[in-house]
């Protein structure tokens, strides 16, 4: 066996291990499981570096990738020891806190002299969080470079289906028996292998759309192909099996009773379905199946949500009111750290100084990733990330249009499914902290990588456009003669 093949197999071996183990080990939130997750990503990235050095060139990277690296440089700047007068200029509140707590300043391992300070108030936390984000970026990047072929993407879809089935089976058992081992106060609720029901809902939001969109591709493929009876039977069984898994997981998703999970998935499905309809121009027979499926899910989900909303989402709801108070407290904190933030990962240390909730209530997250990032990285950091997201969605929509023009339904449906999952998670992040759960962050990065990967159809279309453009530049007079009226 060639070394090139061995390296590829090793990458997919550790990627498979990461996909299967990260959610099952309580979402990889515990120190050991989180260390194992990082170790696997480090091994994957190292093997890929060796593979690229030997057999491929690294190629050009997009602007959004450099924006993410710039965000990491900003975090690195937060933990860099700076003269105290410069910190006072860049972050007056941070300088004030360092001076007031000079004993902490003297004991820190990062800074030995009181004449130097950092913008981050807890450099150790910032370093740890920065390493996590670096791991996720590396993972998404490697996936974009290695998971390109149909076979490799289908393999990942099967893995998603398998782990979704396991989580659904565990969640249904918890719902039916009331045996939710992680929270004795919340019985008859599906949490799967996660500590919190909202985290299981987030996991389903990321994975179910990919499996469903792959089913749609298979349905279209069967309708428009002339395969043998044996091949058709196998594909039909595949569709049936994945449909059963998807239907089962959607039912368990309802059993999570995650109100924001319902809203996020419904909104993302509507958005991506509108993208689908706009791409194809109009509703036709080919859109009937997805339309009926989505309509059925929306009706059931909204109907089920009404009961939960009536009980839990009211003006007197403690959970909702508590989150609103945390949002307001966070906004007050942002005013003290407007430009460069208090340091990535420092929220739980900063928040007590601005807390207006009951002292007995512990708050480790804002339950709004955008507010928390604004506090921790400042307006500068959140703007960089939002710019990267804008460029990502813009390039993805352009890519979907190209795939439609090339009649490549496989990549079109798979990337549409990934986009649905990403959109759902971004909406869910308005009221939760799912992306702080390592396993969900891993799946989020993998979906980004699949969308960013270069498929054959897009490359052919782009190459054709470049040839046409060069031809026009070489022969401008002939093009002008060809125009009507000339």
Q: What is residue 116's predicted lDDT score, i.e. its pLDDT?
A: 81
Gyration radius of the chain's alpha carbons: 25
Condensed to tens digits (0 to 9), the pLDDT of residues 247-268 reads 899 889 988 888 888 888 888 8
Average pLDDT over residues 231-246: 87
Residue 303 — very low, low, confident or very high, per pLDDT cuts 50/70/90? low
The helix/strand/coil state of 110 is coil
CA 355 to CA 435: how far, in whole Å?
23
Condensed to tens digits (0 to 9), the pLDDT of residues 134-174 reads 999 999 999 999 998 899 999 999 999 999 999 999 999 99
Report which secondary-structure segment, H or E, holds 234. Answer: helix 229-255
Q: Do the Cβ atoms of 325 and 82 come closer than 8 Å? A: no
Q: What is residue 292's predicted lDDT score, i.e. its pLDDT?
A: 62
- HSE-CB of 373 using CA atoms within 13 angstroms: 22
CA angle in degrees (0–180, nearest 5) for 269-274-278:
150
Residue 278 — very low, low, confident or very high, per pLDDT cuts 50/70/90? confident
Alpha carbon dihedral 144, 147, 153, 159, in 10-degree steps, equals -100
CB atoms within 10 A of CB 44: 24
Q: What is residue 110's predicted lDDT score, i.e. its pLDDT?
A: 46
CA 135 to CA 74: how far, in whole Å?
16
CA 95 to CA 140: how far, in whole Å?
36
* Two tokens, residue 210: 């990919």
Q: What is residue 453's predicted lDDT score, i.e. its pLDDT?
A: 87
Distance of CA 39 to the CA centre of its chain: 20
Q: Give the CA distances from residue 435 to residues 133, 342, 432, in Å, rounded to whole numbers and listed in that order.
A: 10, 20, 9
Residue 322 — very low, low, confident or very high, per pLDDT cuts 50/70/90? confident
Q: Do the Cβ atoms of 139 and 17 come closer than 8 Å? A: no
Helix axes 229-255, 197-223, angle to 10 degrees: 160
Q: What is residue 151's predicted lDDT score, i.e. its pLDDT?
A: 92
Q: Do the Cβ atoms of 378 and 344 come closer than 8 Å? A: no
Closest to 94 (Cα-Cα) out of 325, 333, 327: 333
CB atoms within 10 A of CB 72: 16
Q: What is residue 369's predicted lDDT score, i.e. its pLDDT?
A: 93
Tell whether the model's pLDDT for residue 305 goes beyond 80: no
Average pLDDT over residues 336-349: 91
Residue 321 — very low, low, confident or very high, per pLDDT cuts 50/70/90? confident
Tell whether the model's pLDDT for residue 483 goes beyond 50: no
| Cα separation of the two ends of the chain | 63
CA 164 to CA 168: how far, in whole Å?
6
Distance of CA 178 to the CA centre of its chain: 30
Closest to 128 (Cα-Cα) out of 196, 35, 48: 35
* Two tokens, residue 245: 């898994």
Closest to 122 (Cα-Cα) out of 108, 137, 138: 108
CA 249 to CA 166: how far, in whole Å?
9
226: phi then psi, degrees, rounded to nearest 5: -115, 65
Name the pTM for this structure: 0.87
Q: Do the Cβ atoms of 415 and 449 come closer than 8 Å? A: no
* Two tokens, residue 285: 């027979």
The helix/strand/coil state of 209 is helix
Condensed to tens digits (0 to 9), the pLDDT of residues 395-440 reads 998 888 888 777 788 999 999 999 999 999 999 999 889 999 999 9
Alpha carbon dihedral 467, 468, 474, 477, in 10-degree steps, equals 170
Q: What is residue 356's predicted lDDT score, i.e. its pLDDT?
A: 86
Q: What is residue 298's predicted lDDT score, i.e. its pLDDT?
A: 58
Average pLDDT over residues 27-31: 91
Q: What is residue 55's predicted lDDT score, i.e. its pLDDT?
A: 82
Q: Which residues contact 482 (CB under 8 A, 6 or more apart)?
A: none
Average pLDDT over residues 113-128: 84
Q: What is residue 13's predicted lDDT score, i.e. its pLDDT?
A: 95
The residue to which tokens 């939710």 are assigned: 180
Residue 392 — very low, low, confident or very high, per pLDDT cuts 50/70/90? very high
CA 256 to CA 191: how far, in whole Å?
6
Q: What is residue 1's predicted lDDT score, i.e. its pLDDT?
A: 65
């Amino acid at each position: 066996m060639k070394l090139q093949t061995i390296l590829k197999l090793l990458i997919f071996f550790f990627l498979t291990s990461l996909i299967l183990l990260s959610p099952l080990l309580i979402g990889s939130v515990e120190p050991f499981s989180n260390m194992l997750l990082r170790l696997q990503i480090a091994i994957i990235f190292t093997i890929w570096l060796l593979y690229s050095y030997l057999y491929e060139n690294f190629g050009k990277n997009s602007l959004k990738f450099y924006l993410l690296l710039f965000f990491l440089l900003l975090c690195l700047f937060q933990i860099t020891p700076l003269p105290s007068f410069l910190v006072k200029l860049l972050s007056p509140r941070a300088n004030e806190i360092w001076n007031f707590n000079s004993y902490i300043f003297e004991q820190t391992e990062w800074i030995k002299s009181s004449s130097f300070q950092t913008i981050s108030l807890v450099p150790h936390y910032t370093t740890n969080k920065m390493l996590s984000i670096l791991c996720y970026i590396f993972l998404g990047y490697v996936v974009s470079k290695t998971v390109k072929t149909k076979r490799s993407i289908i393999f990942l879809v099967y893995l998603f289906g398998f782990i979704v089935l396991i989580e659904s089976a565990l969640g249904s058992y918890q719902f039916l028996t009331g045996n939710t081992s992680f929270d004795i106060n919340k019985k008859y609720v599906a949490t799967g292998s996660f500590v919190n029901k909202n985290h299981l809902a987030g996991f389903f939001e990321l994975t179910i759309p990919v499996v469903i969109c792959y089913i749609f591709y298979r349905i279209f493929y069967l309708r428009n192909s002339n395969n043998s009876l044996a091949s058709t039977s196998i594909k039909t069984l595949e569709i049936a099996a994945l449909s059963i898994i998807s239907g089962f997981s959607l039912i368990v998703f309802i059993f999570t009773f995650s109100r924001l999970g319902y809203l996020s998935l419904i909104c993302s499905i509507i958005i991506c379905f509108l993208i689908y309809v706009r791409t194809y121009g109009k509703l036709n027979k080919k859109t009937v199946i997805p339309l009926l499926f989505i309509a059925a899910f929306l009706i059931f989900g909204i109907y089920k949500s009404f009961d939960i909303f009536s009980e839990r989402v009211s003006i007197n709801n403690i959970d909702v009111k508590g989150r609103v108070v945390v949002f307001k407290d966070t906004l007050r904190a942002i005013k003290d750290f407007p430009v460069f933030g208090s340091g990535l990962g420092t929220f739980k240390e900063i928040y007590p100084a601005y807390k207006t909730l009951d002292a007995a209530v512990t708050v480790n997250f804002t339950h709004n990733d955008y507010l928390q990032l604004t506090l921790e990285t400042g307006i500068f950091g959140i703007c960089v990330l939002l710019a990267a997201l804008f460029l990502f969605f813009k390039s993805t929509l352009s890519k979907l249009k190209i795939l439609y023009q090339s009649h490549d339904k496989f990549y079109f449906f798979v990337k549409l499914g990934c986009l649905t999952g990403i959109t759902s998670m971004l909406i869910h992040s308005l009221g939760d902290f799912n992306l702080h759960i390592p396993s969900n962050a891993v799946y989020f990065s993998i979906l980004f990588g699949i969308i960013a990967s270069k498929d054959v159809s897009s490359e052919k279309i782009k190459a054709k456009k470049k040839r046409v453009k060069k031809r026009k530049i070489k022969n401008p007079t002939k093009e002008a003669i060809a125009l009507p009226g000339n």
